[in-house]
Structure 1
């Protein structure tokens, strides 16, 4: 493998993380020393963006993954999802904004993808969960094994595609009319079950996981709603509140933790509070002496993918901002102190030996049989932690390259590393590379991808909600 190590530029000013005892609960002051390490960050971005372009078909859609274990040009997978397409959009916008590609190249690539999205079949105004990335047809058979795929309209995947389209429109004004037309039918109330005080189980005021539209009416809904606040589907909630298709009180009907007495990872502490007329259980967990609002499974991307785009920490410094710091600190301490791996950062990813599964820190997730770390470290998790722990993230990434060869000069960081066996994934995945690209863009040019989410309904409707948030941490 042609590898570049960043031992001089990235690690010279980076102290090893101390693994002696728990770190204080209070949100630590931001460590700004990593701001000078722009050279490795930019190089990492360039390699990551090469993986995105390698995953993007002539039709214009970014595929799910590529195998980078060989020496030749990797072949993109057949399938793509709305999230994969979004990752291609915002990575290209970031590449243009950072000067990695020219403005004309950015326009050409964004326009090609928008043209492809315009051709995709939809239902109820929303995109299906899986398409053939090479011709845009809806997948009904899984390319890798021939299994039947039942077309599905996913709340969270559509949220990321809308996010990517909004970023593309912000980056390239010439595309705004076409993107506006694409988003005209995107009504988030389709996924919403209104709150019913007489039966809050049937009417929780939350979003469904999605619908299979092959049944009459709206289609067949998932049996679950997205009930946990500190998870990635809150991007859909923010988008719907911002555009007015969801009521603002929807935000207060999502759980910080499940209620006391309900089956979950630990019995929460906290108190009820009245927020805009809604009685909210402001619950929290405690991990290594640190109070925090958990995610559903305990993974990094649940908690920290959304703030790549929505400035939660800025708009809610003592609630969301504090929680993001504590969540990162918990991931670090799990890897270095509790599990003693010597490395940290756990999030859903490719299994190094093949396949895909969720990884996380079980104790900071609500799910009773939550995500476990299992010795598998995922580089994108460290990139997500750059705002909260920049030097520790750089040190961790540098060590993953130095000790396991996790970085590839051609296409960036491999998707995962089993640090107990040394096995490195053969794949890079569009979702995880997209998170890396967005995190690096935010570090190199703060706010570059956040502009569409600081104006309009985000400023007038979402920001006041976050300003009122009072986590019990």
Structure 2
């Protein structure tokens, strides 16, 4: 186990970034903030994923003793009150992609660019929000009714296309749907009896080892998606450095490990998920240190040094080998949230990598780890991203507080449904 005092310091500083990102009136988190934590640098918008992240991180902060129980309750109550009044897709209960973090109002143009927003409802984003609501409902019984009042109308069957994928039961999740014609190719369909047709994405999520499985887990746990869906997802194998691994789309840590903050896949399926998660982390590390000689490791979508946002991964363990590079314009972009999640798998190696990112590259500020750093020049991203900070604190909480978020999410009722589904899933690993 890495030094507990060090991990607690990282957790406390990460929580400080959430305190700075949270609007005091609505309780909503902003999507990002400058490393200085100046409230004037809040992005002005938030998403279902951002909100879900603040929900589970508030519980995590309480369980770590970073905020007392009454303060956590009050923060959560304020946020749930705001959520209850926000505009949603009425029939499905799903949340739109972007809201004003100061008012909770649905945004029609992005505050920073002025670009018009096509009103989209994402399967993955709503999955993360639902995960946060499930954590709160279990962890704070006084707010269980309020959390369920937001969660219960969310029907994940709206995303489940039973006709997609191979023949037989299973189906696939669409990327989401639009509330109005987006001016691009769509598919008009309804997958739930009694729900009107909506304009779905033409693409589906096919891969097992990818972040959309959080939406699959939530939908299966609530009886809205059939378990056969999980069994039918693709698990393509890549052979790298003498080992088989189930590939993600881009070879990134976020795709592989973020769902494990909530679902103890390795414990429920040690011979499949347990093996695969260990190999994923090991191959990320070996790719960076042994094959490329970068000196540091941890690749996942993140902010870019300087400005902007991009996707990063390890191509040899990706299905699309050119989709998520490890280098961009000559920079090797490592993001600390990737190593933070690896603490749940390889705690000593991950803690060492994080400590060196802080000590050697200065990728640290008052709000914890800076979102990304170029390992060649030490140039940093200038912001904290709410999503990425929620992965950092969520993973730290599991390591420090006996898998607290996994326990709050995977209650006995949820485990009774999900564990057999996860345990029975085969992976062709050798």
The question of a shared fold, defined as TM-score above 0.5 by the shorter chain, is answered with: yes
CA spacing shift, 1:129–1:200, aligned 2, 3 Å: farther
Q: Which residue of 2 aligns with 1:224?
A: 203
Residue 435 of structure 1 pairs with residue 401 of structure 2: no
Residue 61 of structure 1 pairs with residue 61 of structure 2: no
Aligned residues: 409
Residue 309 of structure 1 pairs with residue 309 of structure 2: no
The Cα shift of 1:301 comes to 0.7
Residue 420 of structure 1 pairs with residue 376 of structure 2: yes
Alignment of 1:8-19 (within 5 A): none
Alignment of 1:312-391 (within 5 A): 312-374=265-327, 375-391=332-348
Any idea what SS the aligned residue of 1:211 has?
A: strand
Q: Which residue of 2 aligns with 1:89?
A: 55
Contact 1:129-1:154 at 8 Å conserved across structures: yes
Distance 1:196 1:103 in 2: 45
The Cα shift of 1:441 comes to 0.2
Contact 1:189-1:246 at 8 Å conserved across structures: yes
Contact 2:370-2:381 at 8 Å conserved across structures: yes
The runs of 5 or more residues in structure 1 that have no matched partner are 1-32, 258-283
CA spacing shift, 1:129–1:196, aligned 2, 3 Å: closer
RMSD: 1.7
Distance 1:371 1:155 in 2: 21
Contact 1:242-1:456 at 8 Å conserved across structures: no
Any idea what SS the aligned residue of 2:235 has?
A: coil
Distance 2:167 2:426 in 1: 22
Deviation per CA, 1:233-260: give whole Å up to 9, x if none.
0011011111111111011121112xxx
Aligned counterpart for 2:239 among listed residues 286, 306, 324: 286
Q: Which residue of 2 aligns with 1:42?
A: 8
Residue 241 of structure 1 pairs with residue 194 of structure 2: no
Q: Which residue of 2 aligns with 1:191?
A: 159
The runs of 5 or more residues in structure 2 that have no matched partner are 182-187, 189-195
Higher helix share: 2
Distance 2:410 2:137 in 1: 14
Residue 106 of structure 1 pairs with residue 59 of structure 2: no
Instruction: Point out the structure with max Rg over C-alpha.
Output: 1
Aligned counterpart for 1:450 among listed residues 406, 419, 424: 406
More deviation, 44-53/187-196: 187-196
Q: Which residue of 2 aligns with 1:262?
A: none
Deviation per CA, 1:325-352: give whole Å up to 9, x if none.
0000010011101111100000000011
Distance 1:317 1:74 in 2: 46
CA spacing shift, 1:174–1:69, aligned 2, 3 Å: closer
Any idea what SS the aligned residue of 2:41 has?
A: coil
Contact 2:164-2:172 at 8 Å conserved across structures: no
The Cα shift of 1:141 comes to 0.6
The Cα shift of 1:457 comes to 4.7
Contact 1:441-1:448 at 8 Å conserved across structures: yes
Any idea what SS the aligned residue of 1:126 has?
A: coil
Q: Which residue of 2 aligns with 1:165?
A: 133
The Cα shift of 1:231 comes to 0.5
Q: Which residue of 1 aligns with 2:185?
A: none
CA spacing shift, 1:196–1:345, aligned 2, 3 Å: closer
Contact 1:63-1:79 at 8 Å conserved across structures: yes
Any idea what SS the aligned residue of 2:124 has?
A: helix
Distance 1:444 1:460 in 2: 25
The Cα shift of 1:453 comes to 3.2
CA spacing shift, 1:196–1:425, aligned 2, 3 Å: closer
Distance 2:54 2:305 in 1: 24
CA spacing shift, 1:457–1:155, aligned 2, 3 Å: farther
Distance 1:196 1:89 in 2: 33
CA spacing shift, 1:253–1:95, aligned 2, 3 Å: same
Distance 1:356 1:326 in 2: 27
Any idea what SS the aligned residue of 1:134 has?
A: coil
